[in-house]
Structure 1
Amino acid sequence: MSTSEGMAGGRTSRTVVQEGVLQSAISKHHEKLATFDMLPRGDKGAEWMYELQRTKEDFANERITVAECKAVIKCITAASNAEHQLWLDFRSRQDAGQTKPGDFAKAIYGYTDEEAEEFVEEGVRLLESRMANEDRCRTRVLQNGRNGRGY
């Protein structure tokens, strides 16, 4: 058990926390820190969000009209809907067992065969790296718990 004592207004308070709960919370925190996601080249989501934010600011500061604002929103919505349709088509082919690992990057991001292969290989490297980092974090937390360092 881990305890915490403190003084507040002349009174002493004591909190008891089971070590397993504390270790679990610390482990989950370290796992979140070890997670880093990058957007692949060709992903338009961030670009669309930036454009919408800029349009919102321009409209709020009266640099564009209502019609211009609606035109930007309509354009981004149409592009998003088209990408969603690509996604649905890909999922249909995937559900039918007609896809290979690189097909997602080709269908959604417009990659060539070579780019799709690199995309898959990079994804595998990132996944292996993430899993190794999570294992190191778990091992470190467990070692600290055994060594009596407060975890």
Structure 2
Amino acid sequence: MQVDSYAYLPPNQDHYFKCDASASLVAFERRYAYLENHVTEQIVGSTDKQPLLETPGEVFELRKLLPTSLPYDFNIHIMDFQPGEFLNVKEVHYNQHGLLLLEGQGIYRLGDSWYPVQAGDAIWMAPFVPQWYAALGKTRTRYLLYKDVNRSPL
């Protein structure tokens, strides 16, 4: 795998990782929420080869790394903000999610609290917590966002 590569491994698939050089690895490990007659498949890809998706009313760039189809119970997004860009609305989601700031710095609002964040910081967001982000500094901000999808939250 190269820089900015990723892999999705289906539930119960044996695997191992071997690296002959210095590298960073981010792993999301969770219990899969099965749906009858739906099967996930192994995916290996490159972040920058994923298409930019439309974000009506927003300025950030968005890429989804997994299919949005029913077999997949979560998704991983890569979001890029140029310096000074921000979410145009305060968001509220029914799903829990979290992010890892990969590059840059900014300010994140959760509820009524404000948090300065920089590359390497991680945030977990509970369901229904209002949130907002603005990129600060002189370089692009990139974060990896995990989000539950395709399953009832109840």
Query: TM-score under structure 2 normalisation?
Result: 0.18
Q: Identify, as 1 or 2, the structure richer in strand.
A: 2
Larger radius of gyration: 1
